[in-house]
Every structure is written in C-alpha cells, then in structure tokens.
C-alpha cells in the first residue's frame, strides 16, 4: 500500500482527493494537514466521507509527512514551493495540485503570481503532470506539477491540431466556462449562490493565471510561440468546465475526426465523441474523463473543438491520482474507475 499524505485539504481539491484516495485500492491515507482546522475530524467538514475516512486534520508535521510515500499539496500557490525540497530529500514523492511548479519561466511565474519563487531549482526538475503529453517523464518523476483545470481542458482539446501543424497558431481562441467550484471553497461574496446563481459572466479577460500555462504547453507542442485569446466564464453550476476552442485551419483536411481518435487511441481518459456530438459537462461529473467533439461549421476554415472535464477530477484531483498511479507503476486507472452520476 502506498502511504499518502495531503497538505491542505479543506478546499474542494482536497475533499475530492480524499474521496478518490479513500476509494483507491492501493493507497493508505496517512494524514491530512490543515493549520486552521487541526483537530477537526475530516468527516465533520465533509459528511460524504462519514464512514469512509476517519482522519483528523492535523498541524503540518514534517516528520510525519516524511514517512509518506507521496505527499499531495492541495494548497494555494506559494505553499508547496517552501516544503517540497525537504520532502524530496527524504525520498518522498510530491504532487502539487497548486501552481508553484507549472511555469518553467520563473520570472513569468513571479509576474503572474505576484511573489518571489522560493525554489526555482525545483521548477526545472518538476514534470508537468499531463499524462497525455508527459507520460514517460511522469513515471520517473519525483515532483509533479499538476496542470490547472482550464489548461487541461484547453490543451487536450487543441494539442492534436497544433502537434500536426494544421492551424494558425497565432490566432487561437479558448472560450471556457467553469462551474463555481473552480473558485474554491472559501468565504467570498462573488461565488455566493445569491450572486453567482442564475447568472453568467466572463472574468479575468485582461489576463488569467492559466493563460501563460496554456501558452507554455501549446508553444511546446507547436515548436513556436502561439497566440491565444483566453476568456474564462463563471457558470451557475458547481462542477465542470466546457472549453469551446476556435482555430483557423491553414491546411484544411477532412480527417480531423481520425486525427483526434488516433492521437488519443491509447488514452484511458480521453474520449473522442462521434461526429456532430455536443458533450455535456455533466457527462464527466465526478470522473476523470475528458470528452471531446470536433466541428467544422459549413466545412469552412474554422475548427471548433468542444472539450469538457470535471474541473475537480481531471482538472485537479483525479489527474493527481492518475499521476500517482504512473509514478508508482500502478494501473493508470486504479481508483479512477467509477462511473459518473447522471442526472
């Protein structure tokens, strides 16, 4: 059994990680830390866990964490970078669900996240945990930077086009819609049901922290700098991301459907839908799948890719578990086999 610890864990990624790890056949949950909630049984905060998880939030204790095989950081940015080195030195694998190690260009990271990076050397080592791109590196990694939720949906949707050089990489558009759980489980007015319910709005149009992450990934795939307009929207639902992606074909081809099917043929969690499909976010609620549909309206130059994920699963905790499975040589699907709820 893999001994797993969680740092943080009072947020939505945390409870989702607890759900997935508690049901994982090869994992033993060892501890979960939270300064603010130390002493509170986890199942009191998250009653879905009653009867399944009897851990109590504890103060972070480096000694206890060092006894784990793997430690997940489900913390805001700026936390994992201060603790990862010490754990790695003691042979603990680290999977950061936050943003600390996602951006390879440290000055770029510092600009977007507004703080100095305390562990730039680890940024270089960290493997970006998108298995559909970096599977082999993930298997060998000590430190994983789990992708953000929007970056997962957008990159999986655009990668085949970009890898094959089929579209104008200077004018990509990603119009993404997220449920409010993406904003986290913290007291705030903007995501009250009374404020975010029954309404739709864009936010962060001038610049969202996931933009440089997506651009980094697509640029790497393209081998040249991409130009992306990224507009996230807050949607009145709890879970789910729907990314609607627009690209101009420079090399019109009729084989998009085949291209995507082949690109993801061996991927356990990427599901290319039949032609003329419109994936619903609810079709991936609670599961690690990304469902993708392809359109080329009027057989014109514009490709429209529809890509849906559950922001808390493939966009966060499920992907973290998928990475863990790869790192420890398990079946990549272990603990991620449940069927989603519908309705």
Known catalytic residues are 149
Element (DSSP H or E) covering residue 302: strand 302-309
Q: Which is nearer to a copy of itself, 140 or 187 (CB)?
A: 187
Q: How many angstroms separate the CA atoms of 37 and 325, rounded?
A: 29
Report the Cα 108 to chain-centroid distance in Å: 20
Taking CB under 8 A as the binding criterion, the range among 78-86, 117-125, 126-134, 196-204 that sits at the site for a copy of itself is 196-204
How do beta strands 302-309 and 241-248 pair?
Answer: antiparallel
106 touching a copy of itself, by CB under 8 A: no
Q: Which is nearer to a copy of itself, 100 or 332 (CB)?
A: 332
3 state DSSP class of 31: strand
Taking CB under 8 A as the binding criterion, the range among 86-94, 109-117, 150-158, 168-176 that sits at the site for a copy of itself is 168-176
194 touching a copy of itself, by CB under 8 A: yes
196 touching a copy of itself, by CB under 8 A: yes
112 touching a copy of itself, by CB under 8 A: no
25 touching a copy of itself, by CB under 8 A: no
Which residues lie closer than 8 Å to 266 by C-beta, 6 or more apart? none
3 state DSSP class of 261: helix
Among 114, 255, 300, 331, indicate the residue that binds a copy of itself (CB under 8 A).
300
Name the nearest CA neighbour of 102 among 71, 118, 124, 87: 124
124 touching a copy of itself, by CB under 8 A: no
The CA-based dihedral angle spanning residues 59, 63, 65, 70, taken in that order and rounded to the nearest 10 degrees: 180
Q: Which is nearer to a copy of itself, 181 or 323 (CB)?
A: 181
278 touching a copy of itself, by CB under 8 A: yes
Which residues share a beta bridge with 29? 4
265 touching a copy of itself, by CB under 8 A: no
Q: Which is nearer to a copy of itself, 124 or 192 (CB)?
A: 192
Positions 41 through 80 that interact with a copy of itself (CB under 8 A):
46-52
261 touching a copy of itself, by CB under 8 A: no
Q: Can you give the length of the chain in residues?
A: 343
191 touching a copy of itself, by CB under 8 A: yes
Positions 200 through 229 that interact with a copy of itself (CB under 8 A):
200-203, 205-207, 227, 229
Q: Which is nearer to a copy of itself, 91 or 275 (CB)?
A: 275
CB 242, CB 308: distance < 8 Å: yes
Can you point out the beta strands (E) in 70-189? 70-74, 93-96, 127-128, 143-145, 172-178
322 touching a copy of itself, by CB under 8 A: no
Among 110, 112, 302, 334, indicate the residue that binds a copy of itself (CB under 8 A).
302
HSE-up (13 A, CA, CB side) for residue 104: 11
238 touching a copy of itself, by CB under 8 A: yes
Positions 125 through 144 that interact with a copy of itself (CB under 8 A):
none
Which residues lie closer than 8 Å to 51 by C-beta, 6 or more apart? 43
HSE-up (13 A, CA, CB side) for residue 109: 19
304 touching a copy of itself, by CB under 8 A: yes
Residue given tokens 């730039």 in the structure block: 120
Q: Which one-letter DSSP state was computed for residue 290?
A: E
CB of 267 to a copy of itself, least distance (A): 12
Taking CB under 8 A as the binding criterion, the range among 73-81, 107-115, 117-125, 179-187 that sits at the site for a copy of itself is 179-187
Among 173, 249, 259, 334, indicate the residue that binds a copy of itself (CB under 8 A).
173
């Amino acid at each position: 059994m893999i001994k797993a610890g969680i740092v943080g864990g009072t947020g939505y990624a945390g409870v989702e990680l607890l759900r997935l790890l508690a049901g994982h056949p090869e994992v033993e949950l060892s501890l979960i830390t939270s300064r603010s909630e130390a002493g509170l049984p986890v199942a009191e905060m998250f009653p879905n866990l009653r009867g399944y998880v009897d851990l109590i939030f504890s103060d972070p204790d480096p000694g206890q964490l060092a006894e784990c095989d793997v430690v997940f950081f489900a913390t805001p940015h700026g936390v994992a970078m201060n603790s990862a080195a010490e754990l790695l030195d003691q042979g603990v694998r680290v999977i950061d669900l936050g943003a600390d190690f996602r951006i390879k260009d440290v000055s770029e990271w510092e600009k977007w996240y507004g703080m100095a990076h305390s562990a730039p050397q680890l940024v270089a080592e960290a493997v970006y945990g998108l298995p559909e791109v970096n599977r082999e590196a993930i298997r060998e990694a000590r430190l994983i930077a789990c992708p953000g939720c929007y970056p997962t949906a957008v990159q999986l949707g655009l990668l085949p086009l970009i890898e094959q050089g089929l579209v104008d990489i200077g004018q990509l558009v990603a119009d993404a819609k997220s449920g409010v759980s993406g904003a986290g489980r913290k007291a705030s007015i903007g995501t009250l049901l009374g404020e975010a319910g029954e309404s739709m709005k864009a936010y962060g149009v001038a610049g969202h922290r996931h933009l440089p992450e997506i651009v980094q990934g697509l640029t790497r795939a393209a081998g040249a700098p991409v130009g992306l307009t990224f507009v996230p929207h807050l949607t009145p639902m709890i879970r789910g991301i729907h990314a609607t992606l627009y690209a101009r074909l420079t090399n019109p081809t009729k084989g998009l459907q085949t291209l995507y099917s082949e690109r993801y043929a061996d991927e356990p969690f990427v599901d290319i839908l039949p032609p003329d499909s419109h994936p619903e976010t609810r079709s991936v609620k609670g599961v690690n799948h990304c469902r993708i549909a392809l359109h080329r309206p009027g057989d014109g130059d514009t490709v429209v890719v529809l890509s849906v994920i559950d922001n808390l699963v493939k966009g966060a905790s499920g992907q973290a578990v998928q990475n863990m499975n790869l790192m420890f040589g398990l079946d990549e699907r272990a603990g991620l086999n449940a069927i989603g709820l519908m309705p």
